[in-house]
Protein backbone atom coordinates (compact mmCIF):
# COMPACT_ATOMS: atom_id res chain seq x y z
CA UNK A 1 0.00 0.00 0.00
CA UNK A 2 2.84 2.40 0.86
CA UNK A 3 4.15 2.22 -2.71
CA UNK A 4 0.76 2.88 -4.30
CA UNK A 5 -1.22 4.98 -1.85
CA UNK A 6 -4.15 2.56 -2.08
CA UNK A 7 -4.63 -1.11 -1.11
CA UNK A 8 -4.03 -3.58 -3.92
CA UNK A 9 -7.42 -5.32 -3.83
CA UNK A 10 -9.82 -7.05 -6.20
CA UNK A 11 -12.55 -4.76 -7.52
CA UNK A 12 -15.82 -6.67 -8.01
CA UNK A 13 -16.74 -4.24 -10.80
CA UNK A 14 -13.96 -5.53 -13.08
CA UNK A 15 -12.49 -8.63 -11.36
CA UNK A 16 -12.19 -11.77 -13.45
CA UNK A 17 -13.89 -14.98 -12.21
CA UNK A 18 -11.99 -16.74 -9.44
CA UNK A 19 -13.30 -20.19 -10.38
CA UNK A 20 -13.62 -21.71 -13.85
CA UNK A 21 -13.71 -25.19 -15.40
CA UNK A 22 -10.18 -26.62 -15.56
CA UNK A 23 -8.68 -29.80 -17.05
CA UNK A 24 -8.57 -32.76 -14.70
CA UNK A 25 -5.15 -33.10 -13.08
CA UNK A 26 -3.55 -36.37 -14.19
CA UNK A 27 -0.86 -38.41 -12.47
CA UNK A 28 1.25 -41.05 -14.11
CA UNK A 29 1.97 -42.11 -17.69
CA UNK A 30 0.23 -40.20 -20.49
CA UNK A 31 -0.66 -42.84 -23.05
CA UNK A 32 -1.82 -40.38 -25.72
CA UNK A 33 1.59 -38.73 -26.02
CA UNK A 34 4.03 -41.19 -24.43
CA UNK A 35 5.55 -44.56 -25.19
CA UNK A 36 4.75 -46.48 -22.01
CA UNK A 37 6.33 -49.71 -20.84
CA UNK A 38 4.64 -51.39 -17.90
CA UNK A 39 6.50 -54.05 -15.97
CA UNK A 40 3.62 -56.41 -15.29
CA UNK A 41 3.43 -59.49 -13.13
CA UNK A 42 1.12 -61.49 -10.87
CA UNK A 43 3.03 -60.73 -7.65
CA UNK A 44 4.16 -57.59 -5.90
CA UNK A 45 7.76 -56.51 -6.50
CA UNK A 46 10.13 -55.57 -3.70
CA UNK A 47 10.85 -51.81 -3.60
CA UNK A 48 14.53 -52.56 -3.00
CA UNK A 49 14.70 -54.26 -6.41
CA UNK A 50 12.44 -51.80 -8.25
CA UNK A 51 14.37 -48.77 -7.00
CA UNK A 52 17.38 -49.93 -9.01
CA UNK A 53 15.65 -48.28 -11.96
CA UNK A 54 16.90 -45.03 -10.43
CA UNK A 55 20.53 -46.20 -10.43
CA UNK A 56 22.65 -44.27 -12.89
CA UNK A 57 23.51 -47.27 -15.07
CA UNK A 58 19.94 -48.54 -15.45
CA UNK A 59 18.42 -45.08 -15.75
CA UNK A 60 20.88 -44.19 -18.51
CA UNK A 61 20.54 -47.52 -20.33
CA UNK A 62 16.75 -47.11 -20.31
CA UNK A 63 16.97 -43.66 -21.91
CA UNK A 64 16.09 -41.45 -18.89
CA UNK A 65 12.41 -42.40 -18.61
CA UNK A 66 9.79 -40.92 -16.34
CA UNK A 67 9.40 -43.63 -13.67
CA UNK A 68 6.13 -44.49 -11.94
CA UNK A 69 4.97 -46.90 -9.28
CA UNK A 70 1.84 -47.90 -7.39
CA UNK A 71 2.12 -49.48 -3.97
CA UNK A 72 -0.70 -51.64 -2.55
CA UNK A 73 -1.98 -48.62 -0.60
CA UNK A 74 -1.96 -46.23 -3.60
CA UNK A 75 -4.99 -45.36 -5.70
CA UNK A 76 -2.98 -43.60 -8.43
CA UNK A 77 0.46 -43.56 -9.96
CA UNK A 78 3.26 -41.87 -8.03
CA UNK A 79 6.77 -40.88 -9.18
CA UNK A 80 9.07 -43.76 -8.31
CA UNK A 81 10.84 -43.12 -5.01
CA UNK A 82 14.36 -44.14 -4.04
CA UNK A 83 13.06 -46.26 -1.17
CA UNK A 84 13.89 -49.84 -0.27
CA UNK A 85 10.87 -50.27 1.97
CA UNK A 86 7.70 -52.12 0.99
CA UNK A 87 6.51 -53.40 -2.36
CA UNK A 88 4.97 -52.25 -5.65
CA UNK A 89 1.89 -53.62 -7.41
CA UNK A 90 2.52 -51.68 -10.63
CA UNK A 91 5.62 -50.22 -12.28
CA UNK A 92 5.80 -48.18 -15.46
CA UNK A 93 8.34 -46.30 -17.55
CA UNK A 94 7.16 -43.53 -19.86
CA UNK A 95 8.83 -41.59 -22.68
CA UNK A 96 7.52 -38.49 -24.50
CA UNK A 97 7.08 -39.51 -28.13
CA UNK A 98 7.65 -35.93 -29.26
CA UNK A 99 10.27 -33.75 -27.57
CA UNK A 100 11.66 -30.29 -28.33
CA UNK A 101 14.90 -31.98 -29.43
CA UNK A 102 13.31 -34.62 -31.68
CA UNK A 103 10.98 -37.59 -31.62
CA UNK A 104 11.03 -41.22 -30.58
CA UNK A 105 11.47 -43.67 -33.45
CA UNK A 106 11.00 -47.43 -33.74
CA UNK A 107 14.70 -48.14 -33.30
CA UNK A 108 14.86 -46.22 -30.01
CA UNK A 109 11.65 -47.89 -28.84
CA UNK A 110 13.14 -51.32 -29.62
CA UNK A 111 16.26 -50.52 -27.59
CA UNK A 112 14.08 -49.38 -24.70
CA UNK A 113 12.18 -52.65 -24.84
CA UNK A 114 15.39 -54.69 -24.82
CA UNK A 115 16.62 -53.05 -21.64
CA UNK A 116 13.17 -53.00 -20.04
CA UNK A 117 12.81 -56.73 -20.74
CA UNK A 118 16.22 -57.37 -19.16
CA UNK A 119 15.28 -55.41 -16.06
CA UNK A 120 11.85 -57.03 -15.90
CA UNK A 121 13.39 -60.48 -15.96
CA UNK A 122 15.52 -59.52 -12.94
CA UNK A 123 12.45 -58.72 -10.84
CA UNK A 124 10.12 -61.39 -12.25
CA UNK A 125 8.12 -59.04 -14.43
CA UNK A 126 7.22 -58.87 -18.11
CA UNK A 127 7.83 -55.67 -20.11
CA UNK A 128 4.62 -54.70 -21.94
CA UNK A 129 4.68 -51.69 -24.31
CA UNK A 130 1.84 -49.37 -25.25
CA UNK A 131 1.72 -48.50 -28.08
CA UNK A 132 3.45 -51.45 -29.70
CA UNK A 133 6.92 -50.70 -31.07
CA UNK A 134 5.62 -51.03 -34.64
CA UNK A 135 3.09 -48.23 -34.05
CA UNK A 136 5.57 -45.68 -32.67
CA UNK A 137 6.57 -44.18 -36.03
CA UNK A 138 2.97 -43.58 -37.10
CA UNK A 139 1.98 -42.07 -33.78
CA UNK A 140 5.11 -39.94 -33.78
CA UNK A 141 4.24 -38.45 -37.18
CA UNK A 142 0.65 -37.79 -36.09
CA UNK A 143 1.69 -36.03 -32.87
CA UNK A 144 4.34 -34.01 -34.68
CA UNK A 145 1.72 -32.83 -37.17
CA UNK A 146 -0.66 -31.84 -34.36
CA UNK A 147 2.09 -29.98 -32.51
CA UNK A 148 3.32 -28.09 -35.58
CA UNK A 149 -0.06 -27.25 -37.11
CA UNK A 150 -2.03 -26.35 -33.98
CA UNK A 151 0.53 -24.25 -32.11
CA UNK A 152 -1.63 -21.13 -31.87
CA UNK A 153 -0.55 -18.01 -29.99
CA UNK A 154 -2.93 -15.23 -28.93
CA UNK A 155 -1.43 -11.77 -28.53
CA UNK A 156 -2.76 -8.26 -27.89
CA UNK A 157 -1.20 -4.99 -26.79
CA UNK A 158 -2.43 -2.05 -24.75
CA UNK A 159 -1.12 1.29 -26.08
CA UNK A 160 -1.56 4.23 -23.66
CA UNK A 161 -2.88 7.44 -25.17
CA UNK A 162 -0.14 9.48 -23.48
CA UNK A 163 2.57 7.38 -25.15
CA UNK A 164 3.75 5.87 -21.88
CA UNK A 165 2.25 4.64 -18.64
CA UNK A 166 3.89 4.54 -15.21
CA UNK A 167 4.24 1.06 -13.78
CA UNK A 168 2.96 2.48 -10.50
CA UNK A 169 -0.40 3.11 -12.19
CA UNK A 170 -0.67 -0.46 -13.52
CA UNK A 171 -0.36 -2.55 -10.37
CA UNK A 172 -3.64 -1.32 -8.79
CA UNK A 173 -5.50 -2.17 -12.03
CA UNK A 174 -3.95 -5.64 -12.18
CA UNK A 175 -4.91 -6.19 -8.53
CA UNK A 176 -8.45 -4.96 -9.19
CA UNK A 177 -8.73 -7.51 -12.02
CA UNK A 178 -7.54 -10.28 -9.68
CA UNK A 179 -4.28 -10.90 -11.55
CA UNK A 180 -1.39 -12.43 -9.63
CA UNK A 181 2.26 -11.49 -9.75
CA UNK A 182 3.99 -14.38 -11.50
CA UNK A 183 7.41 -16.02 -11.16
CA UNK A 184 8.87 -14.29 -14.22
CA UNK A 185 8.01 -10.70 -13.37
CA UNK A 186 4.68 -11.05 -15.18
CA UNK A 187 1.11 -10.68 -14.03
CA UNK A 188 -1.15 -13.61 -14.80
CA UNK A 189 -4.77 -14.63 -14.56
CA UNK A 190 -4.63 -17.77 -12.44
CA UNK A 191 -8.02 -18.92 -11.13
CA UNK A 192 -8.34 -21.17 -8.08
CA UNK A 193 -6.94 -24.64 -8.74
CA UNK A 194 -5.12 -23.70 -11.95
CA UNK A 195 -1.56 -25.02 -12.23
CA UNK A 196 -0.67 -22.24 -14.68
CA UNK A 197 -1.98 -18.86 -15.70
CA UNK A 198 -4.62 -18.51 -18.42
CA UNK A 199 -2.99 -15.38 -19.84
CA UNK A 200 -0.07 -13.19 -18.87
CA UNK A 201 0.70 -9.49 -18.97
CA UNK A 202 4.19 -8.10 -19.57
CA UNK A 203 5.56 -4.59 -20.13
CA UNK A 204 6.40 -3.26 -23.59
CA UNK A 205 9.55 -1.17 -23.93
CA UNK A 206 13.00 -1.34 -22.38
CA UNK A 207 11.89 -3.39 -19.35
CA UNK A 208 10.87 -7.00 -19.90
CA UNK A 209 9.31 -7.58 -16.48
CA UNK A 210 7.43 -5.84 -13.70
CA UNK A 211 8.99 -5.21 -10.28
CA UNK A 212 8.57 -3.15 -7.14
CA UNK A 213 11.94 -1.62 -7.92
CA UNK A 214 10.48 -0.32 -11.18
CA UNK A 215 7.47 1.07 -9.30
CA UNK A 216 9.72 2.87 -6.82
CA UNK A 217 12.02 4.05 -9.58
CA UNK A 218 9.22 5.67 -11.53
CA UNK A 219 9.65 3.38 -14.56
CA UNK A 220 7.36 4.09 -17.51
CA UNK A 221 6.35 1.61 -20.20
CA UNK A 222 5.29 2.08 -23.81
CA UNK A 223 2.39 -0.25 -23.07
CA UNK A 224 1.74 -3.83 -22.04
CA UNK A 225 1.31 -7.11 -23.91
CA UNK A 226 -1.45 -9.56 -23.06
CA UNK A 227 -1.39 -13.09 -24.43
CA UNK A 228 -1.32 -16.86 -24.05
CA UNK A 229 -0.36 -20.03 -25.88
CA UNK A 230 -3.62 -21.72 -26.75
CA UNK A 231 -2.66 -25.44 -26.63
CA UNK A 232 -1.22 -25.20 -23.11
CA UNK A 233 -3.83 -22.78 -21.74
CA UNK A 234 -6.10 -24.45 -19.13
CA UNK A 235 -9.24 -22.82 -20.58
CA UNK A 236 -8.66 -20.84 -23.81
CA UNK A 237 -12.22 -19.52 -24.08
CA UNK A 238 -12.20 -18.09 -20.56
CA UNK A 239 -8.68 -16.81 -21.26
CA UNK A 240 -9.66 -14.73 -24.30
CA UNK A 241 -12.76 -13.43 -22.53
CA UNK A 242 -10.69 -12.44 -19.49
CA UNK A 243 -7.94 -10.94 -21.62
CA UNK A 244 -10.38 -8.71 -23.47
CA UNK A 245 -11.95 -7.60 -20.18
CA UNK A 246 -8.50 -6.77 -18.83
CA UNK A 247 -7.77 -4.79 -21.99
CA UNK A 248 -10.98 -2.81 -21.61
CA UNK A 249 -10.15 -2.06 -17.96
CA UNK A 250 -6.75 -0.68 -18.96
CA UNK A 251 -8.35 1.47 -21.66
CA UNK A 252 -10.90 2.87 -19.21
CA UNK A 253 -8.63 3.43 -16.21
CA UNK A 254 -5.42 4.52 -17.97
CA UNK A 255 -6.68 5.76 -21.31
CA UNK A 256 -5.54 4.21 -24.56
CA UNK A 257 -6.32 1.49 -27.09
CA UNK A 258 -6.25 -2.29 -27.16
CA UNK A 259 -4.61 -3.54 -30.37
CA UNK A 260 -4.60 -7.01 -31.93
CA UNK A 261 -1.53 -8.76 -33.33
CA UNK A 262 -1.94 -6.81 -36.58
CA UNK A 263 -2.01 -3.50 -34.67
CA UNK A 264 -5.72 -3.05 -35.43
CA UNK A 265 -7.84 -1.28 -32.83
CA UNK A 266 -9.94 -3.90 -31.05
CA UNK A 267 -13.55 -2.86 -31.46
CA UNK A 268 -16.60 -5.02 -30.68
CA UNK A 269 -16.38 -6.82 -34.03
CA UNK A 270 -12.69 -7.74 -33.69
CA UNK A 271 -13.23 -8.76 -30.07
CA UNK A 272 -16.04 -11.15 -31.06
CA UNK A 273 -13.98 -12.49 -33.97
CA UNK A 274 -11.14 -13.19 -31.54
CA UNK A 275 -13.46 -15.14 -29.25
CA UNK A 276 -14.84 -17.06 -32.25
CA UNK A 277 -11.33 -17.89 -33.51
CA UNK A 278 -10.19 -19.14 -30.11
CA UNK A 279 -13.35 -21.21 -29.75
CA UNK A 280 -12.76 -22.79 -33.17
CA UNK A 281 -9.12 -23.57 -32.34
CA UNK A 282 -10.19 -25.07 -29.00
CA UNK A 283 -12.65 -27.33 -30.84
CA UNK A 284 -10.00 -28.36 -33.40
CA UNK A 285 -7.58 -29.36 -30.66
CA UNK A 286 -10.21 -31.45 -28.90
CA UNK A 287 -11.16 -33.19 -32.16
CA UNK A 288 -7.47 -34.04 -32.58
CA UNK A 289 -7.64 -35.77 -29.19
CA UNK A 290 -5.79 -33.13 -27.16
CA UNK A 291 -7.54 -31.17 -24.40
CA UNK A 292 -6.06 -27.66 -24.13
CA UNK A 293 -4.09 -27.18 -20.94
CA UNK A 294 -4.09 -30.90 -20.12
CA UNK A 295 -0.98 -32.75 -18.99
CA UNK A 296 -0.79 -34.28 -22.49
CA UNK A 297 -0.88 -30.85 -24.16
CA UNK A 298 1.76 -29.40 -21.85
CA UNK A 299 4.06 -32.37 -22.45
CA UNK A 300 3.51 -32.24 -26.22
CA UNK A 301 4.17 -28.51 -26.64
CA UNK A 302 6.65 -27.84 -23.84
CA UNK A 303 8.36 -31.17 -23.28
CA UNK A 304 9.10 -32.84 -19.94
CA UNK A 305 10.04 -30.81 -16.90
CA UNK A 306 13.76 -30.81 -16.30
Domain ranges for the chain, please list them: 34-147, 151-287
| Nearest alpha-carbon partner for 230 in 180, 183, 286, 178 | 286
The string of pLDDT tens digits covering residues 224-276 is 999 999 999 999 999 999 999 999 999 999 999 999 999 999 999 999 999 99
What is the pLDDT at residue 33? 97
| Nearest alpha-carbon partner for 223 in 157, 155, 172, 156 | 157
The string of pLDDT tens digits covering residues 54-68 is 999 999 999 999 999
Collapsing DSSP to helix, strand or coil, 78 comes out as strand
Beta bridge partners of 220: 166
Q: Which residues contact 193 (CB under 8 A, 6 or more apart)?
A: 19, 22
Would you say the C-alpha torsion 45, 46, 52, 54 has a positive or negative sign? positive
Mean pLDDT taken over the chain: 96
What's domain 34-147's architecture? 2-Layer Sandwich (3.30)
State the CB neighbour count (10 A cutoff) for residue 127: 20
Q: pTM for the whole thing? A: 0.91
What is the pLDDT at residue 223? 98
Asked whether the predicted pLDDT for residue 297 surpasses 80, the reply is yes
Q: Among residues of the chain, what percentage have pLDDT more than 70?
A: 99
The string of pLDDT tens digits covering residues 34-90 is 999 999 999 999 999 999 999 999 999 999 999 999 999 999 999 999 988 999 999
Does the fold of domain 151-287 match that of domain 34-147?
yes
E strand intervals along the chain = 34-40, 45-46, 66-70, 78-79, 87-88, 90-96, 98-99, 102-103, 126-130, 153-160, 165-166, 180-181, 187-188, 200-204, 220-221, 223-229, 256-259
- CATH number of the structural domain 151-287: 3.30.1400.10
DSSP state of 294: S
Amino acid sequence: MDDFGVPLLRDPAIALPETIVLPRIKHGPLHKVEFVVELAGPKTAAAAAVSRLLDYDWYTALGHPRLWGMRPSDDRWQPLAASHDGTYDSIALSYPIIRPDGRLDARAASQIMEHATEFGNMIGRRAMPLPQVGEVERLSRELESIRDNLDVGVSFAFAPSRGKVAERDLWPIFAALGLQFGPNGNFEYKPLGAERGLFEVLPIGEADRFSLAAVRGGTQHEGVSLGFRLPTCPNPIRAIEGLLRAGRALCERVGGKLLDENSHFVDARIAQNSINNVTAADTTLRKAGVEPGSAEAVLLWEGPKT
